[in-house]
């Protein structure tokens, strides 16, 4: 008994990654694939790595085309999901891979995205406290942003265990696919190869309020976040270096114990053995999160570092994991912790 799935936005990086994963998922049947400016084109010319779907032709993103599926994934530009979702019945599982339904605070949404708030859906990060329960049986899922996924998993255990002050400093490096497939001069290979550069500095990146939301929920108080994203010369991957001042009494042992407890039963989170640090290469193409944590006594800070694949666990893999939970399937179906390396 197979679930029939449609993907809106199949020509982009998030849509392509989702299709890569869906092709390996034994319980789904791939239905309609839609694009916008690419409607009418063969998928083989847009996503040449998806050989089994090469002859499929993209359709327009309309309610008619998306109708008649059990699950609809929306891999659309921010601000476009709500209008499409409204036309899909309440019995359809709608998984929004854009930002539209992530934020609980309408004012945050309006400040960072400049449009009316579309509402808040159950949040697709099962590893958060209470995360799975929120997704079970749900018909609407808001897939987290890639940076908030990496950052929340790195710091939530410290906040849940009451180990850290409510001020986090985060510097994260992302591969260029995080910026999408739209051709912009600063994303040309000639520009990015051999170069590291920051952007969205000083709290202006749209993922900032989402991080604050997640960390504050774990801390039970408002956590301030200084977030600096940087563009790294690689196609995929996020390395998030996160730190916060340790509360009095914290020790290296109490920090490690908190992280071991938090991730003991998580199928996709691997707390590395002491002394081993994550690398994005290890999670390339996988849904795994590799994490390490240290307590820097001299500086008085807890440093937690996570590595994910921004397109897999950070977007399409996280979406599929949440779909599995919502549908009552085994959470790991169609997903792997094994990276493609070197």
DSSP one-letter code for 185: G
State which residue, 116 or 300, has the beta carbon closest to its own copies.
300
Q: Which of 224, 254, 332, 333 binds its own copies (CB under 8 A)?
A: 224
The verdict on 261 binding its own copies (CB under 8 A) reads: no
CB of 134 to its own copies, least distance (A): 26
Name residue 230's beta-bridge partners.
173, 198
Provide the residue count of the chain.
342
Q: Based on the residue annotation, tell me whether 242 is a catalytic residue of this protein.
A: no
Marked catalytic residue, from 32, 46, 95, 146: 146
The only residue of 86, 105, 167, 274 in contact with its own copies, by rule CB under 8 A: 167
Residues 6+ apart with CB under 8 A from 112: 103, 206, 208, 209
The residue within the footprint of its own copies, chosen from 169, 257, 266, 332 (CB under 8 A), is: 169
Neighbour tally for 260: CB within 10 Å: 12
* 336 contributes a contact to its own copies by CB under 8 A: yes
CB 98 within 8 A of CB 141: no
Nearer to its own copies, 121 or 259 (CB): 259
For its own copies, which is the closer residue by CB, 82 or 305?
305
> Which tokens in the block code for residue 137?
């049986």
For its own copies, give the closer residue by CB, 92 or 155.
155
Which tokens sit at 111? 């400040």
85 or 173: CB nearest its own copies: 173
Site residues for its own copies, 176-205, by CB under 8 A, read 176-177, 179, 181, 183-185, 187-199, 201-203
Segment 20 to 79, residues that bind its own copies, using CB under 8 A: 20, 23-24, 42, 44-45, 47-52, 54
Nearest to 163 by CA among 273, 278, 242, 270: 242
Q: How far apart are CA 295 and CA 310, in angstroms?
A: 26
92-121 binders of its own copies (CB under 8 A): none
Interface positions, 227-246, toward its own copies (CB under 8 A): 228, 230, 232-237, 239, 241, 243, 245
With binding defined as CB under 8 A, does residue 89 bind its own copies? no
- Distance of closest approach, residue 328 Cβ to its own copies, in angstroms: 23
In the DSSP assignment, the letter for residue 109 is H
Among 29, 261, 277, 330, binds its own copies (CB under 8 A): 277
Residue 260 CB, shortest distance to its own copies, in Å, is: 15
Only segment of 127-135, 152-160, 218-226, 256-264 that touches its own copies (CB under 8 A): 218-226
Give the helix/strand (H/E) hosting 15: helix 13-22
Residues 152, 292, 315, 322: which binds its own copies (CB under 8 A)? 292
Encode 274-299: b = buried (16+ Cβ within 10 Å), e = exposed: eeeebebebbbbbbbbbbbbbbeeee
Orientation angle between helical segments 106-113 and 208-219, nearest 10 degrees: 160
Gap between the Cα atoms of 316 and 321, Å rounded: 9
How far from the centroid of its chain's Cα atoms is residue 189's Cα?
A: 24
- Catalytic center residues: 146
């Amino acid at each position: 008994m197979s679930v029939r799935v449609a993907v809106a936005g199949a020509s982009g990086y998030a849509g392509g990654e989702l299709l890569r994963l869906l092709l390996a998922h034994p319980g789904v049947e791939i239905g309609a694939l839609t694009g916008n400016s690419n409607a009418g084109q063969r998928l083989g010319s847009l996503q040449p790595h998806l050989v089994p779907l090469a002859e499929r032709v993209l359709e327009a993103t309309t309610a008619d085309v998306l109708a008649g599926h059990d699950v609809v994934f929306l891999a659309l530009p921010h601000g476009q999901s709500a209008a499409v979702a409204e036309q899909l019945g309440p019995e359809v599982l709608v998984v929004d891979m854009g930002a539209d339904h992530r934020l609980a605070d309408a004012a945050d949404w309006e400040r960072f995205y400049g449009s009316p708030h579309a509402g808040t859906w159950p949040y697709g990060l099962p590893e958060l406290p209470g995360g799975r329960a929120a997704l079970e049986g749900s018909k609407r899922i808001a897939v987290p942003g890639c940076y908030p996924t990496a950052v929340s998993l790195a710091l939530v255990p410290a906040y849940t265990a009451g180990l850290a002050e409510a001020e986090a400093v985060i510097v994260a490096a992302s591969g260029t696919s995080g910026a999408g497939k739209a051709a912009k001069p600063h994303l040309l290979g000639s520009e990015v190869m051999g170069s590291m550069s920051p952007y969205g500095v000083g709290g202006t990146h749209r993922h900032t309020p989402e991080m604050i939301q997640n960390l504050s929920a774990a801390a039970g108080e408002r956590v301030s976040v200084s977030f600096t994203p940087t563009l790294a010369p690689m196609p995929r991957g996020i390395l998030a270096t996160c730190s916060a001042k340790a509360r009095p009494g914290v020790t290296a042992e109490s920090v490690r114990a908190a992280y071991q407890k938090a991730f003991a039963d998580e199928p996709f989170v691997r707390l590395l053995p002491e002394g081993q640090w994550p690398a994005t290469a290890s999670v390339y193409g996988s849904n795994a999160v590799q994490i390490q944590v240290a307590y820097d006594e001299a500086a008085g800070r807890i440093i937690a570092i996570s590595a994910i694949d921004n397109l897999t666990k950070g977007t399409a893999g996280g979406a599929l994991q949440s779909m599995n939970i919502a549908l009552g399937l085994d959470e790991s179906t169609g997903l792997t912790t094994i990276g493609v390396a070197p």
